[in-house]
Amino acid sequence: MRRDEAATKPRTPIWHPFTQHALQPEMTKVTRGKGAYLYTADGRRIIDAIASWWVVTHGHCHPHIVSSVQRQIATLDQVIFAGHTHEPAEEVAEEILKITPDGLDHVFFSDSGSTSVEVALKMALGYWRNIGAPRSRIVVMEHSYHGDTIGTMSVGARGTFNRTYEPLLFDVSSVPFPVQGGEQRTFDALEATCRRENPAAFVVEPLVLGAGGMLMYSPRVLAEMKRICEAFQVLFIADEVMTGWGRTGTLFACEQASVSPDIACYSKGLTGGSLPLAVTLCRGEIFDAHYSTDRSRTLFHSSSYTANPVACAAAKANLELWKDPATRARLADVVAMQEQKLAPFRTDPRIANARQTGTITALDLRVADAGYLAGVGPRLQAFFASRDVLLRPLGNTVYVMPPYCVTTEDLDCVYAAIGDALDSLPHAPPS
């Protein structure tokens, strides 16, 4: 280690996620969250314009979720979930099946978006093996992100985030992202791959590819990809970890395409963003293929905290909130506000591809150096921080994904900061 590197080593022993400590020695210390705001130790109030990494839906410390969690932790904090069950998990499973696409009828609990996708892959391979027609190839979409475990990195885009770990990743088949006007290439590639490789499953983020840069495609494309998978009996896995819980304007993105996936993954907003929890839902046939007196056909997956009762109580409270028509009305308001705030940027020559799906808006800055490692991302982030706005651009892509309690005044602050950031940057000439 060079001496100057040692000199800037952080004082904290904590190693933060996706953080280059040599470039970001100081962490913002947050003491409290309420609604759309985070409050810091040094007395600032920050607008949480990315919902604390896409998880917070109804707002921080929503009273209904907080009281449900408080009641539960004083009653049953944790119990082994093999051979045991509890009311919060039963209720979450029952309620979630009422609102998710038809055909999904079993619920497997885990702790994070990544594990929910891992479980989905294991369900798919278990299904094919147990029906006596083993398949193991997985098809993915270019630019997709499904998590940071070895398995989910394998089914995600290869690049900066995982180059070091590539020797451990398994091989998959990838179809091009359906850019507008080029959708047929995606369909043709998916069809050819299904025909040639007899894959076990296609895993995809419906309508919006999040970490890949908030790339958006239409419900029609989603429906057509599902149709192709059906034609070749390839299991369709919808990773709604980010798109679920209202993010795309409907409760789940698949609704907009009337798609019933064979397997669906939900996490992030499942607890309203309060506690870690995930579920993987599947069709009856997939559960049935594992249902046997033969123990070797078991779905071999668990984690210590599977279906933790406190996390389930938070999810239960979230599901109750979604039963309230006011929640749906609020969602529609956020979609409309976002549309209105984005409008002026659609014609700004310094911006390419201003876009929106539901509550998510995104825009690409025309800068000379645009990759994730380009200097523009951290510079923008620092600028937004100086304005007490939490935004975390993906390279040159700035996106806004607020909690649904955000006000029009909050969004005015957020978009004013984006506009001013544009003014402060050197620009590539419009192409």
Chain contacts with ligand PLP (rule: CB under 6 A) = 112-114, 117, 145-147, 205, 210-211, 239, 241-242, 267
Q: Helices 325-342 and 408-424: crossing angle, nearest 10°?
A: 30
**Residue closer to ligand PLP (CB basis): 38 or 360:** 360
For residues 35 and 147, which CB has a smaller minimum distance to ligand PLP in the complex? 147
Residue among 200 and 270 whose Cβ is closer to ligand PLP: 270
- Report CA-CA distances (Å) from 211 to 153, 161, 170, 308, 379: 12, 11, 20, 27, 19
C-alpha 114/C-alpha 118 separation (Å) is: 6
Q: What is the DSSP letter of 302?
A: -
* Cα separation values, 138 from 102, 141, 146, Å: 24, 10, 13
Q: With respect to ligand PLP, which residue has the nearer C-beta, 267 or 396? A: 267
User: Facing residues of 176 across strands?
Assistant: none
Using Cβ positions, the residue closest to ligand PLP within the complex turns out to be 113
C-beta closer to ligand PLP: residue 125 or 237? 237
Least distance to ligand PLP from the beta carbon of 145, Å? 6
CA dist 401 and 389 (Å) reads: 12
CB of residue 22 to ligand PLP, shortest distance in Å: 24
Query: Least distance (Å) from ligand PLP to the CB of residue 159?
Result: 16
Q: In the complex, what is the shortest distance from the CB of residue 252 to ligand PLP, in angstroms, rounded to a whole number?
A: 13
Work out how close the CB of 18 gets to ligand PLP at its nearest, in angstroms, rounded to a whole number.
10
Beta carbons within 10 angstroms of residue 375's beta carbon: 10
* Cα gap 353→217, rounded to integer Å: 12
DSSP 29: P
Q: How far is the CB of 239 from ligand PLP (least distance, A)?
A: 5
Query: What distance in Å separates the CA atoms of residue 240 and residue 265, rounded to the nearest whole number?
Result: 5
Considering the complex, what minimum distance in angstroms separates the CB of residue 197 from ligand PLP?
A: 23
Contact by Cβ (8 Å): 412, 341: yes
- The residues, ordered by sequence, that sit 6+ positions from 160 with a Cβ below 8 Å of its Cβ are 371, 372, 373
Using the minimum distance from each CB to ligand PLP, give the nearer residue, 107 or 417.
107
Taking the least distance from each CB to ligand PLP, the nearer of 115 and 381 is 115
